[in-house]
Chains A and B, each alone.
Chain A
Amino acid sequence: MKDISIKELQNKTTEMRMKVIDMIYKAQSGHPGGALSAAEFMTACYFKFMNIDPKNPRWEDRDRMVLSKGHVCPIQYACLASVGYFPVEELDTLRKEGSKLQGHPSMIKCPGIDISTGSLGQGLACAVGMALAGKMDKKDYKVFCVIGDGEAQEGEIWEAANTAHKYKLDNLIAFIDVNNLQLDGTTDEVMPNGDLGEKFKAFGWDPIYLDGNDMEQVVAAIDKCYAEMNGNPKVLIGSTVKGKGVSFMENQCGWHGVAPNTEQYEQAMEELKAQMIG
């Protein structure tokens, strides 16, 4: 765990958001909305909590990150580049031919990606496998998994939730990015999730509710997970804003998978820049 202040983490988050917008603008393709909503959690993991060695991406004692909602990978790429897995300049190659940075993350192509994702609902089971291997080998690494609230409609998520409980995987920390929007509309319209914390609780997990865009709360929640190694897997139910940080993208379903034009790009970057704390 790295010693870094909340303020520094907040600025890092803004920096990551700017990188996301920049990448998607340059690629003219990608998913900004969900990348922006998950930015605090991803930043907290990569810049504070995760025990990783970017020079040795396959280090067997490392903490793992599974981005189950793989379409928001620009936020993960921004973090990976910034902590040193590959040069920051390579972020400009997102979604381009020959790039490490595939439209959805590939563990074969990109260092720091612990498992390929992109087809929704599959990441949590993979994270369970990693956490289980950690328990079998008596290693104390953590496994993080980021899941979309829309994605929580997939049945495999709940199969995996069962398995995590059976094998007492308290080394597994899932973050549900509850931004209330999915491709076709609000989650309430498309398929209401109900109380996700209660659902996970019924599956034997310890839920923690928080504002997922409040860095102080994100850090406190992960700290709590580390402190309570009680055999129960942990789930952070993070209320977030899709498109967070860019006024015209916030809470707009239409910004799920669209790239900004030049005017929008300039406005977004300006708004984000203004969020840096001096």
Chain B
Amino acid sequence: MSELKKIATRQGFGEEIVELGKENPDILVLDIDIGKSCKTTAFKKELPDQYLNVGIAEQNGAGVAAGLATCGKIPFVVTYAAFGSMRICEMIRQEICYTNLNVKIACSHGGFTPANDGASHQAIEDMGILRTIPNMTVIMPADYNSARKLVREAGENYGPMYLRFTRDAVEQIYGPDVEFKIGKAHQIQDGKDIALIANGDTVILAIKAAKILAEEGISARVLDMHTIKPLDVEAVTACINDIGKIITIEDHNILNGLGSAVCEVAAEMGKGIVKRIGVQDKFGESAPYERLLAMNGITVENIVETAKKLQ
């Protein structure tokens, strides 16, 4: 898998949205001036009649999208994760989620991936915040091909959705034929000693950790939990019943993201141990992406160590 060149998942979005737009004229891209960075240039060029740019005005972008959606359009509001979640949080709540409109918020620059831009652009709270709003679906694909599949799923299924992509190139995990379904965890490998549940750019870390653990005789089940809402409760329940020990890994604050969602299931069941690896409730800074992850223990080594301690 890792022989393939790295590609940012925003690239997968940018390519798939063109295909979707060609098939369905109601699919629109609504840019907020950062289309070039969010990879909508091809869409703008190929489908100019389905392309809008409302300027640097995120709140208005959310409202315009809601209005368009009441008329049967399927707008993808495209911006960075920090702004597409927090800057327009209340507009999403009031005009998109409360109204249950078919608007997609498609964001590049998820987690620490806008690394040297610094904390202002790093979105570490976004998925948790949006997970709290009724009717919202929250998704982060792990690589290029799964991004394409999940963008297609978003375009073909009704409802408000938040999609989070990486700015930085990430390793490819899946081939072009792998199927993904919103709300359904993708099991990469089965195991009996530990469950590693990750999403987005941390899935590759879980895969690498599982490989090392296997060499040491510890067998890991690895789940790509691309959708944290609705969470695949069945898959988490199975991990607790079959294995009882879970490590969650996410490029997001450990509060209210994937780790919290998994903990909620375990707590309700009254069994299982969950260890959360993620951003330690502190802001990032300008630094290399891998360094930012390392500062927070989001590393293959830490996953391996944590898994061993649980044995």
Contact = CB atoms under 8 A, between A and B. Distances in A.
Contacts of B95: 115-116, 122, 125-126
Contacts of B54: 159, 162-163, 166
B59 interface: yes
Interface string A97-116: 00000000011100000111
A156 B90 CA distance: 12
Contacts of A106: 98
Interface in B5-60: 49, 52, 54-55, 57, 59-60
B63 A125 contact: yes
A129 B67 contact: yes
Interface in B53-87: 54-55, 57, 59-73, 75
Contacts of A107: 70, 99
Interface centre among A117, A125, A166 (most CB of B within 10 A): A125
Contacts of B55: 159, 162-163, 166
Interface in A112-170: 114-119, 121-134, 136-137, 155-156, 159-160, 162-163, 166-167
Nearest to B90: A119
**Mostly helix, strand, loop or mixed at chain B's interface?**
helix
A198 interface: no
Interface residues of A, number: 36
B91 interface: yes
B187 interface: no
A60 interface: yes
Interface residues of B, number: 28
B267 to A, nearest CB: 32
B64 A129 contact: yes
Contact of A115 (B52, B60, B66, B72): B66
Contact of A133 (B60, B67, B90, B99): B67
A125 B52 CA distance: 14
Interface in B186-207: none
Contacts of A115: 66-67, 70, 95, 99
Nearest to A129: B67
B60 to A, nearest CB: 3
**Mostly helix, strand, loop or mixed at chain A's interface?**
helix
B241 interface: no
Interface string B90-134: 110011001110000000000000000000000000000000000
Nearest to B91: A122
A79 B62 CA distance: 28
B71 A125 contact: no
B71 A126 contact: no
A156 B71 contact: no
Interface centre among B61, B71, B72 (most CB of A within 10 A): B71
A130 B70 contact: yes
Nearest to A145: B67
Contact of A132 (B67, B72, B90, B100): B67
A133 B74 CA distance: 11
Given A115-B99, A129-B68, A130-B70, A124 B90 contact: no
A156 B60 contact: yes
Contacts of B52: 132, 167
A107 B71 CA distance: 13
Given A116-B94, A119-B94, A136-B49, A130 B63 contact: no
Interface of A: 60, 64, 66, 106-108, 114-119, 121-134, 136-137, 155-156, 159-160, 162-163, 166-167
27 contacts: A106-B98, A108-B99, A114-B70, A115-B67, A118-B94, A119-B90, A119-B94, A121-B59, A122-B95, A125-B91, A125-B95, A126-B70, A128-B60, A128-B67, A129-B63, A129-B64, A129-B71, A132-B52, A132-B67, A133-B70, A133-B73, A134-B71, A155-B59, A159-B59, A162-B55, A162-B57, A163-B60
Interface of B: 49, 52, 54-55, 57, 59-73, 75, 90-91, 94-95, 98-100
Given A130-B67, A167-B52, 19 more contacts: A60-B72, A114-B70, A115-B66, A115-B70, A116-B99, A122-B59, A122-B63, A125-B59, A125-B62, A125-B63, A126-B95, A130-B70, A132-B64, A132-B67, A133-B68, A136-B73, A155-B59, A156-B59, A156-B91
